[in-house]
Chain A
Amino acid sequence: MSSSNDHRSEVAELARLLPPPAERDLPPSRQRVIGAHLMSEFREARPADSTRRSGLVVLAAAAATVLTVIAGVTIGSAVTSSPPPLPRKAVTALPGGKQQNSITGGSPSSRLPESAGITTLAGMTRIIAGTAPLWGFKEGTGPYSGRSLGLLGSLQQCWVLTSAIMRLGPLTHGLPMPLPLWFATSHPGPAQVCDEVWAFANSWAPVKVLRNPEYTGSGTPGTITLRTGSIDHGLAWQVDSAANGGMSEFRFEWAQGMHLADVSVIGADLTLAQARGIALKVRA
């Protein structure tokens, strides 16, 4: 009873010291759209779960077909320097592009050319390309915004093993991210790569961002700073996250001239050297 009273009086005192919080409902039309979208995603995921449970049966039945398709398609994507066409929605409706509007007050940064990031990865296919938000603890209320930093443009790309697409379907039809552990373990090493590059109008902004843990996320629980492996005196982490479904993740962030680069590499039995070798392919 006394404890309950203490709780109430402390909360009341805190409430007195602070302005009242804003509160509103999610606009009904938007709530419907988001709700319907989420349920659709969950329903699509259900067959994938079932497939995983009976994976051996499905795998055996599909093996011949998959092998045939892989033979025809991966050869094409491995030798060509231009990746296959991207899913239209992934390019035009990236959440990053949408958020950038809110960061800069209506003037989204432009998308950098593909040459700013990773242009090819052997055995992998680029499944997403768009702009990348420069999120802080939160834009507009953080220490500085994209506009104040002179953000000119950005590029965000994600790559997955081509064989994963052949096995699990394209991004728009069931490809999960991160890839399932059962798939990654049968393909040890890098399975998924995301690279992001931001271009600024000056060379101090990338360094400033790199030094701010609210922007880099280096203070996030589970990120382990590595003593070795950083690029250009930047940051290197191993990420111990339940979100990776049991896979390993290495992440690198560094400043180079007027650019800031961020690369994360995820996979089963992944080594720091493998991940770093991929990160070095960014041409920022």
Chain B
Amino acid sequence: MEPDQRDRVRAGDTAAFEALFERYAASVYNHAFRLTGSWSTAEEVVSLTFLEAWRLRGAVHADGGSLQPWLLGITVNVARNVRRAARRHQAAMSRLPPPPAVPDFAEELAGRLDDEAMVAATRTAVAGLRPREREVLALCVWSGLDYATAAETLGVPVGTVRSRLSRARRRLQKLAAASTPASAPGQPKSARPREDSSDEQQQRSPI
């Protein structure tokens, strides 16, 4: 995105936001889906992400590259607590026409269920990770962001992204090694570890 477009976003130019939505709605939608495991929730997160982006537009830096990291950072925050974000934008969300009650095509429904089953399997596989490790993993592995961009997205140092990914890899390797016929397929034996990493304190995104 050109710097003058950043200025336009900061100034609340609706045409600039329209372009932003056209360009990034799909990546926000997919990232939200990977975090939440539900297409319907992901759709809700898309709306909430752009409403939050509008509200927080003044925080966009005048200099910089793509606004995708900024948007995905908002997506991560919204997905952490959708209920709270929905309540904040209740007025706007109440005016959003609801999706059709019946899907247009049975094929689409089947596709959605397949996708959701796939993500459910994935979430089972990553259930042994800390939430912050999952977020980094979704950004770097599934959304293809490099370390620096993921760090910008989450508002943490690059070293934190690197260490979270390393921990995630080690943990997944252990889980893969421990996944023997004696244990339930895809089910980690241990409960999710406690959130105790000191680097969590460096999170600076608004809730």
Given the complex of chains A and B, what is the CA–CA distance between A89 and B55 in angstroms?
A: 23
Interface positions, chain B 116-157, Cβ under 8 Å from A, are 116, 118-123, 125-126, 131, 137, 140-142, 146-147
Distance from A109 Cβ to chain B, minimum over Cβ atoms (Å): 14
Q: Which residues of chain B have C-beta atoms less than 8 A from A236's C-beta?
A: none
Q: Which residues of chain B have C-beta atoms less than 8 A from A95's C-beta?
A: 44, 86, 90, 93-94, 96
Are A177 and B146 touching (Cβ within 8 A)?
no
Distance from A254 Cβ to chain B, minimum over Cβ atoms (Å): 17
Chain B: CB-nearest residue to A127: B91
Interface positions, chain B 37-58, Cβ under 8 Å from A, are 37-41, 43-44, 46-47, 50-52, 54-56
Do A18 and B95 contact each other (CB < 8 Å), given the known contacts A7-B146, A140-B38? Answer: no
Are A221 and B26 touching (Cβ within 8 A)?
no
Q: Is A64 an interface residue (CB 8 A)?
A: no
Are B98 and A93 touching (Cβ within 8 A)?
yes
Are B94 and A99 touching (Cβ within 8 A)?
no
Given the complex of chains A and B, what is the CA–CA distance between A242 and B55 in angstroms?
A: 10
Are B122 and A43 touching (Cβ within 8 A)?
no
Do A13 and B169 contact each other (CB < 8 Å), given the known contacts A95-B86, A217-B83? Answer: yes
Interface residues on B, range: 35 or more
Do A49 and B12 contact each other (CB < 8 Å), given the known contacts A217-B81, A221-B203? Answer: yes
Are B38 and A138 touching (Cβ within 8 A)?
yes
Q: Which residues of chain B have C-beta atoms less than 8 A from A42's C-beta?
A: 12, 14, 17, 54
Given the complex of chains A and B, what is the CA–CA distance between A11 and B146 in angstroms?
A: 9
Chain B: CB-nearest residue to A40: B95
Q: Which of B21, B44, B168 lies in contact with A99, CB distance below 8 A?
A: B44
Q: Which residues of chain B have C-beta atoms less than 8 A from A30's C-beta?
A: 43, 99
Do A21 and B98 contact each other (CB < 8 Å), given the known contacts A14-B169, A26-B29? Answer: no
Q: Is B60 an interface residue (CB 8 A)?
A: no
Q: Which residues of chain B have C-beta atoms less than 8 A from A167's C-beta?
A: none
Chain A: CB-nearest residue to B55: A243
Are B87 and A46 touching (Cβ within 8 A)?
no
Distance from A247 Cβ to chain B, minimum over Cβ atoms (Å): 12
Do A135 and B172 contact each other (CB < 8 Å), given the known contacts A15-B141, A35-B25, A140-B37? Answer: no
Given the complex of chains A and B, what is the CA–CA distance between A56 and B188 in angstroms?
A: 61
Q: Which residues of chain B have C-beta atoms less than 8 A from A27's C-beta?
A: 104, 108
Q: Is A274 an interface residue (CB 8 A)?
A: no
Q: Is A208 an interface residue (CB 8 A)?
A: no
Q: Is B66 an interface residue (CB 8 A)?
A: no
Closest 5 CB pairs of A and B: A242-B206, A22-B115, A141-B37, A138-B36, A135-B83
Q: Which residues of B are interface residues toward A (Cβ below 8 A)?
A: 12, 14, 17-18, 21-22, 25-26, 29-30, 33-41, 43-44, 46-47, 50-52, 54-56, 79-99, 104, 108, 111, 114-116, 118-123, 125-126, 131, 137, 140-142, 146-147, 165-166, 168-169, 172-173, 176, 195, 203, 205-207
Between-chain CB contacts (< 8 Å), 9 pairs: A10-B165, A22-B114, A37-B96, A39-B17, A101-B40, A127-B91, A138-B35, A172-B91, A239-B207
